[in-house]
Amino acid sequence: MSHDDENEPESLHDHDHEHEHHHDHEVEEALEEALELDTQSQIFLEMRRQNLELLRIATEVAGYTGEHGPLKQNDLRNALRNIWEVFAEFYNWVDPEEAEEDEDEEEGGDDDE
């Protein structure tokens, strides 16, 4: 401790310590929030990746892979509809709880009639 520190009142040291502790706490909170956002982002991206993989599989199952020419407008609509039906069925198998929530939301709209 220097000679100058000995002459400073203890309350000044306490104030500095409180300020430092408050700053450390703010830094910890900011790091926790950033980590939580990073975790949420990673979960979101992983879910999107899984959905794309499921869509790729649905496309294969619906028979729209391989070597063939471009689809005509009406053929494209039918292909997309068929792929979506297969994807939706697979998605219900993968995440049945979410499918139930979607059905509940749809049924909830009918109760108003």
57 neighbors 90 (Cβ within 8 angstroms): yes
- pTM of the predicted model, to two decimals? 0.55
Token pair in block for residue 68 = 């063939």
Least confident of 42-46, 49-53, 67-71, 82-86: 67-71
24/19 Cα distance (integer angstroms) = 9
Q: pLDDT digit string (tens) for 1-19?
A: 445 555 555 555 565 666 6
Give yes or no for residue 111 having a pLDDT over 60. no
Task: Return the pLDDT at 72.
Answer: 83
| Percent of the chain whose pLDDT exceeds 90 | 31
Task: Return the pLDDT at 106.
Answer: 66
30/32 Cα distance (integer angstroms) = 5
The mean pLDDT of 40-68, rounded to a whole number, is: 88
